[in-house]
Structures are given as structure tokens and as C-alpha cells.
Amino acid sequence: MTGAHATLVGLLEPALRDAIATLATPQPEEDELGRVAASLAAAAEAAQRALGEEARDPRIHRIVGSAASAAMALSLGDGLVPLAEVRGRLQEGLDLLTAGSWPPEDQDPAE
């Protein structure tokens, strides 16, 4: 496990899993959605700061971006973005994080 991967697992994975579980429940309460949005935003920001320049990596950017975009979508409220769509974005980020290998589209052909 690389340092960046360990950072993402420690800072972002718990927030992703919590959000996915919360959004899987039928009709989550508004205060729960607010809590999840705040948790995702804080985790994404913490990961971004901890990773610094490494956050530019396409895979890391997609993982952190899944949390940040979900936080923004949830903070819009009023169901402007369907919860199933938000949950799907989060699941994609978690899947990338837990895959353990880089999908070909994320690999730098110059390496």
C-alpha cells in the first residue's frame, strides 16, 4: 500500500462507507444528509491537504472528487440530485479506492 493509498484509506474510506450506507436507507432524514455532506466535505479536504501534489494523480483526483461532488450535491438539498445518483458516485470512488490496482484508463502511458 502506497503512502497515498494509506492516506486515502485512513481519511476518506470511512466517510465514503458511511455515506453509502446512509444513502442506502429509504428516505434518510435531512439532518443525516447534512451530517454526511459535512463529513464527506471534511474528509475530501483533509485528503487533499494531506496528499498535496499527489492529489493531481488522475485516480486520486477521481476518488477525492467523488466525495467532494457528493458533498456538494447533498448540500444543495431539495433532492436536486437524486440520492441514487449521489450514492453511485460515492460507490465508484470507493470501488477505485479498494480495487488495489489501477484501471487502464487511469494509467499514465508515459510511465
Q: Which domain holds residue 46?
A: 3-100
In a domain, 14, yes or no: yes
Reference 100, options 11, 10, 9, 19; nearest CA is 9
- 3-58 tens-digit pLDDT: 888 999 999 999 999 999 999 998 899 999 999 999 999 999 999 999 999 999 99
Residue 84 lies in a domain: yes
**Is residue 68 situated within a structural domain?**
yes
Domain assignment of residue 108, yes or no: no
pTM of this structure: 0.86
In a domain, 90, yes or no: yes
CATH number of the structural domain spanning residue 26: 1.20.120
Nearest to 23 by CA among 10, 9, 35: 35
> Number of folded domains in the chain?
1
